[in-house]
Structure 1
C-alpha cells in the first residue's frame, strides 16, 4: 500500500478560479451531501439485507435453489433498468426531483417485500427496490459531482460509496442481531426488510429541503436559479466566477446538443464512443471482481469455508466493517492520489487476493480447523482492498468523465452494464460455486482481474484536479486521450 501513495503524480492544473475559503457554505454543502447519500445508504441496505434474510425467507416461502437466485437477482435486474431509465429522467426532470421519486420507490418496495404472501409478490417488490437502487446508483453520484467544487469533488462524490457500505454493514449487523435474538419467530426476515423504510422516509423529507444541481439548472437555461444555489455552497466571488465558467460551457454545448449529443450522434463521434466504452468498462470490471457475490452470498461462502450457519451470520460482519474502514481511507485518497494510480493499485491487490483465496481453499481442505479462519481473513483483505482502492474511485469517475450534455444518459448506460453484470453474477454465483468450487471461482476472478489491469492502463484517462467543464472540453475534443494527459501529466493544449 505504501507504493500507491509514493506514486502520486501532479494533477492537471484547473482554470484559475477564486480559491475556496472557510465559511458557512461548507456546512451547507456537507448537509446536502448527507441528505442525498441516504440514497446510497438505501442502496447498501437493500442489497445487503438479503444476505441474512434469504435462509428464513426460503423456509417460509418454500423457495428452491433457483427461486432463491431469482429473489436475489430480481433486484439487480431491476437496478439495471433503473440505472438506464432514471439517468435519462434526471436529465429532463432534474437530479433533485428524481431522487425524491427514488425515495418513494424505496418506501413502496420495502412495504411490498415486508407484506408479501408469496414468491411472486416478493419478486415484484424486489424489482421496485431494484429500480430505486439503480436510479440511486446513477443519479446521486452525478448530483454530488455537479454540486461539489472540483478541489473536493472526489471526496464529496465518494461519500455516496461510503454510505453504500455503511448501509451494507448496517444490514449485516441488523441481520445478525435479529437472526440470533428473534430467529425463532416466524417471519423474522420481514423484520429485517422493514428497517429499510426508515431511511427512505428520511431521504424523502430531506430532499425537499435541498437545492437542485446548479449545473443542471444552467443546462436548462435557469441561470439566476443556478447562481442562487451556488451562492449558498460557495464563497460569493467563487460562485460568480464558476457560474460564468459553467454557463460558457453549457452555451457551447447547446450549439451542438441536438446533433452531437443525441444517442445516435454519440455513436458516430469516436471520442464520445471511446469515453462511453471507458465508463462501461469501469462498471463491468468493478463487478467482475466478485465483490457483490461476497456481499450477497457471504454467508454461503463462509459456510463453504467451514463456519456453521449462525457463526457465518456473525462472521459476515467482519467484511462489512473493513468495507467501511476502507471507504474512509478512500475518501481521504480521492483528492490526493490520482484516479489511475488508485485503480491500478486496487486491481493488483484484489487479483492477488483472489489467487490467495483459491490457493488457501485448495491447501486447507474441508474439515481442517484453520480453513474457515484463513479464508475469512483473506476475504476481509479482498473486501478491504476493493473498498479502499476500487469502489469509491469507480463511482466518482463515472460521475465526472462524461460531457454535461450526455452525462445522465451515459452514466445510465454505464451503470446499466454494471448492474447487468452484477445481476448475472448474483443469479449464477451459487451454480458457479457448485460447479468449480471455491478454488475455481476465485481463480476465475483473478484471471478477469488481469484483463481489468490491462484495460485501465491502456484506456482510462486521468481526471483528478480538473473541473467538470475542463473534462467536458477535453473529452469532446479527444485531448484527454492523449497519452500524457491520460496519465495525468500537466501539458499545455
Structure 2
C-alpha cells in the first residue's frame, strides 16, 4: 500500500477527495493553533527572568510559588471546561460555524485582557484573561472535531480530523520556541514577556478571517430542516452534482439516520439528554471520558505546562538550556504528528496505535522515574553537564514523546468526533471536550505539588496509568477507522470488540455489492432520474 492509500467503505469518486474538504479542515484548525500555543507558551513564560522579576516570584515560598503557578495555568483549563459545555448550546441553536466564530471572539477578548498586566496591576488581568481564553478554546475544542468529521468522507476522516491535531502541534511548536527566542534576542524588560502573550492573537485573527469563507456542516443543516442549503453545501464540498450516485446514497444515509433518531430519541434541545437513559448511549459517553482520562494520565500536560520543571528534575539546568530542550520536544511532537496524520491514523488504525503508544510510553516513564530515584540529579546540579545516566534519561524522554505523539496525542479526539450518532454527537463531543479539560485541569493544578511531594513517583504514577489504558482499549474500544458515521451504532453492538471493525466492514461491502446488483437490474438512467427528482424535492421544501 502507498503512503496515502485509502480503505473505502464503498466506491468513491476521486472528486470527493478535493481541496475544499481539506481547506475547510485546515481553516477550522486555526482554532487548534490557538489551543496548542496557549498550552505550550505559558510554562516557559512563567520561567522567563523578566516575568519572574516583574511579578516578584522570589518573594514567594516554594509551596506558595507552586500554588501561584498552578493557579495561573489551571484557570485556563477551568474556563475551557465550561466553554466546552456552552458550545453544546450554541451548536444546537446556531450551528457549528457560527459557534466557532463566537468562541474565537471570546478567546481574542481574553488574550487582549492579558496584555494589560504589569507590576502595578498585578496578576489579575492575566488570571481574568486566561479564564476567558479558556472558555474560547473549550468551545472551539468541542466544535472543530465535530465540524470536520461531519464534512469528511469516511476514508479520510481520521486524516482530516488529524489536521486539527496538527494545528495543535504547530501552535505548540511556536509556543515552546518563542520564549527561547525572546530570551536570547531581547533585553529582560516587560516587552520581552508581553510578546508571547500578544502572539495568541495571531491564530485567532486568522480563524476569524477564515470563518467568513467556511460553510456550515451539511449534516447539521439536514437535521435542522434546511435541505436546500444542505444539498448545496454537500455538493460543493464533495465537488459532485446532486444527481451523482454518491451524493444520492450519502443523502439517503443521512436522512435515514435523522429519521431513525427522531423516531427513537426525538428532536429538540433536551432530547439528547433523554437519550442518556439508554445504556448504549451512556456507554459511549463513558468511553469518551475515559479516553481523555488516560490521555492526560500519560503525563503529557504535566510536560506541556511545566516543561522547565520536568527537565530540571532530570538534571537540565539553565534557562536557555531548558527552553532549548523544551523546543526540541515541540519539534519531535510536530514531526511525528505529520507522520500520524498522513499514514498511521487511517492506515494503521486507532486501536493499534493506542496499544503501541501506551506500551512504549509506559516503559520510558519507568526508566526516567528509576533514574531520578537512583541518581537524584536535581540535588546534584552543578555546572549543568549531564551524566551518562542523565543523557539516557533525556533520550528516553524523547523516546516517550515518539511513542505518545502518534498515538494518544490526537487519537482520542478522532474517536470522539466519530463515535456518536447524529442526535447525540454535539452533546457527546461536549462531554468529551469537558472531560478533556477536567482531567487537564487536575493535572495542571496539582502537578507542581506532585513534584514537591512525590518527586520520582510522578513518573511511576503516569507509567502505571498507561499500563491500565492498554487493558481498557483492548476490551472496550472498537476500531472506528473507515466506518461511516451512520454505521457507528452497529459497530458498537458487535462483539467481540477487537473484531468489530472487520465484521462491520465486510457487512458494508456486501450491502454495497447487493446495491450495485440491484442497480444493474434496472435501466441505466434510473439513478439519474431519481437524483433529479430528489434534488427537485429538496428545492421545493
CA contact (8 A) 1:344 1:453 kept: yes
2:416 aligned with 1:398: yes
CA contact (8 A) 2:104 2:208 kept: yes
CA contact (8 A) 1:338 1:488 kept: no
What does the per-residue CA deviation read over 1:298-322, in whole Å, with 9 as the maximum and x for residues that have no partner?
Answer: 1111122222222101111111011
C-alpha displacement of 1:374: 2.7
Q: Report the equivalent of 2:460.
A: 443
Q: Report the equivalent of 1:418.
A: 436
Please, which moves more after superposition, 194-203 or 179-188? 179-188
Query: Which aligned pairs between 1:324-403 and structure 2 lie closer than 5 A?
Result: 324-331=334-341, 332-366=343-377, 367=380, 369-403=387-421
Distance 1:58 1:74 in 2: 19
Distance 1:172 1:338 in 2: 29
2:100 aligned with 1:90: no
CA contact (8 A) 1:99 1:139 kept: yes
Query: Which aligned pairs between 1:24-35 and structure 2 lie closer than 5 A?
Result: 26-35=18-27
CA contact (8 A) 1:112 1:125 kept: yes
2:81 aligned with 1:80: yes
C-alpha displacement of 1:485: 4.7
Please, which moves more after superposition, 49-58 or 134-143? 49-58
What does the per-residue CA deviation read over 1:375-394, in whole Å, with 9 as the maximum and x for residues that have no partner?
Answer: 32222111221111122211
Of 164, 167, 173, 2:168 maps to: 164
C-alpha displacement of 1:242: 1.3
The size of the alignment, in residue pairs, is 477
Distance 1:312 1:139 in 2: 35
2:314 aligned with 1:305: yes
Query: Which aligned pairs between 1:91-490 and structure 2 lie closer than 5 A?
Result: 91-116=92-117, 117-236=121-240, 237=244, 238-258=246-266, 262-307=271-316, 308-331=318-341, 332-366=343-377, 367=380, 369-437=387-455, 439-471=456-488, 473-474=489-490, 479-480=493-494, 482-483=496-497, 485-486=499-500, 488-490=502-504
C-alpha displacement of 1:160: 0.4
C-alpha displacement of 1:241: 2.6
Please, which moves more after superposition, 85-94 or 118-127? 85-94
Distance 2:181 2:85 in 1: 36
What does the per-residue CA deviation read over 1:25-45, in whole Å, with 9 as the maximum and x for residues that have no partner?
Answer: 611112111110000000100
What does the per-residue CA deviation read over 1:60-110, in whole Å, with 9 as the maximum and x for residues that have no partner?
Answer: 124533111100111011111111221342132111001111221221111
CA contact (8 A) 2:313 2:372 kept: no
Distance 2:464 2:501 in 1: 25
Distance 1:129 1:424 in 2: 18
CA contact (8 A) 1:87 1:412 kept: yes
What does the per-residue CA deviation read over 1:210-249, in whole Å, with 9 as the maximum and x for residues that have no partner?
Answer: 1001111111111111111111121422333312221221
Please, which moves more after superposition, 152-161 or 386-395? 386-395
Q: Tell which structure's C-alpha radius of gyration is larger.
A: 2
Q: 1:436 to 1:68 in 2, by over 3 A?
A: same
Distance 2:233 2:178 in 1: 38
- Name structure 1 gaps, 5 residues minimum: none
2:18 aligned with 1:21: no
CA contact (8 A) 1:103 1:204 kept: yes
C-alpha displacement of 1:284: 1.0
CA contact (8 A) 1:361 1:371 kept: no
Please, which moves more after superposition, 141-150 or 104-113? 104-113
Of 39, 44, 53, 1:47 maps to: 39
Q: 1:232 to 1:375 in 2, by over 3 A?
A: same
Give RMSD over aligned pairs.
Answer: 2.2
Counterpart secondary structure, 2:479: coil
CA contact (8 A) 1:151 1:335 kept: yes
Distance 1:222 1:294 in 2: 45
CA contact (8 A) 1:52 1:299 kept: yes
Distance 1:487 1:163 in 2: 28
What does the per-residue CA deviation read over 1:432-480, in whole Å, with 9 as the maximum and x for residues that have no partner?
Answer: 111121x211111111111111111111122112110111x426xx524
- Name structure 2 gaps, 5 residues minimum: 58-64, 381-385, 509-541
